[in-house]
Amino acid sequence: MLNVKKKNELIQVKGSKFMYVWMAVFYLGGLISCLILIIDGFKFNSTYSLIYILGGIMLAPVFLYLTLWSLPAFNPGKILLTIILGENGKVFSKKGTVFINNIRSTDLVRNPINLINYIVIETFDEKRIKIPTYNLLSDLDYQVMVDQYLFPYMTENARKVWDRKIDLNILLKEVRYERQEQKIE
């Protein structure tokens, strides 16, 4: 579920509490499991001891790498991005600021090197802003956020592009989100 803090026309998007728990369990559980495998392997109580040692030694760097990339997400009160609604609305993040009516397209893209999802916003003036989500926003939460807060203030062409990317029937079925008909001029 989308974790949003609203103050009048200011919306702060934070990571889902469920995703915080999910990440902590995955990364810490992986590191602890590798350690247990290595320790149990060095006891040589089983015929699989060498496999335990090799598996633990091979997977420990992978989990450590992923954990180090995701550490900034565990900053308490982490705000992924801030949205100011309205005709002159903006999207703020540490990576930059974009006017909503200047957005050409927006995507949620996974980086193949660090496996972290990024919100990639392309503007009409050929600018690209990549906002790291640290996997705290699920795909459906991202789609609801864009459709609810950015879509009403996008240009007509950007709306058409967004409508081609999402399926409102899936959003209705999965997260019970229904697009509100708004007065768009």
pLDDT in tens, 71-82: 999 888 889 999
Given a cut of 90, is residue 105 above it in pLDDT? yes
In single-letter form, the type of residue at position 118 comes to Y
- Encoded tokens for 8: 């009048």
Tell me how far CA of residue 28 lies from CA of 40, 49, 76, 170, in angstroms.
18, 23, 18, 32
**Where are the extended beta strands (E) located within 42-154?**
79-84, 90-93, 96-99, 103-110, 117-123, 128-132
Residue 33 confidence (pLDDT): 96
Mean pLDDT value across residues 9-38: 92
